[in-house]
């Protein structure tokens, strides 16, 4: 248990921020998973729609400091690479 008032406030703030961060991280992970699933099913039209949502969610998470900007860039790059590879096979 925190002893000082400022330590108690930091505990409350960090708990509130953890909920906020979890929301953005979860949202981006969901869109990424949906995109990968559509690519695996060879539904490329649906994957193109979903990849836009995933990129947007990753950019928002990086902009808010939830994930590092390089982490977001790496994930976007890997998604685009997978989509382009699937399009070439088609």
CATH number of the domain residue 21 falls in:
1.20.58.110
Q: Which domain holds residue 30?
A: 5-89
pLDDT band (50, 70, 90) for residue 3: confident
Total domains in the fold of the chain: 1
Averaged pLDDT score across all residues of the chain:
95
Say if residue 74's pLDDT is above 90: yes
Share of the chain above pLDDT 70, in %: 100
pLDDT band (50, 70, 90) for residue 53: very high
Give dist(CA 86, CA 17) in Å, integer.
38
**Per-residue tokens: 81:** 């690479």
Phi then psi dihedrals of residue 76, to 5 deg? -65, -40
**Per-residue tokens: 38:** 């559509």
pLDDT band (50, 70, 90) for residue 90: confident
Q: Using a CB cutoff of 8 Å and minimum separation of 24, what contacts does 66-69 make?
A: 66/20, 66/21, 66/24, 66/25, 67/25, 67/28
């Amino acid at each position: 248990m925190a002893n000082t008032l400022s330590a108690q406030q930091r505990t409350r703030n960090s708990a509130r921020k953890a909920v906020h961060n979890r929301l953005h991280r979860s949202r981006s992970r969901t869109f990424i998973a949906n995109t990968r699933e559509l690519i695996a099913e060879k539904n490329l039209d649906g994957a193109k729609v979903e990849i836009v949502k995933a990129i947007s969610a990753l950019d928002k998470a990086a902009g808010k400091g939830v994930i590092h900007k390089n982490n977001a860039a790496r994930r976007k790059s890997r998604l685009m690479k997978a989509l382009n590879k699937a399009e070439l096979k088609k």
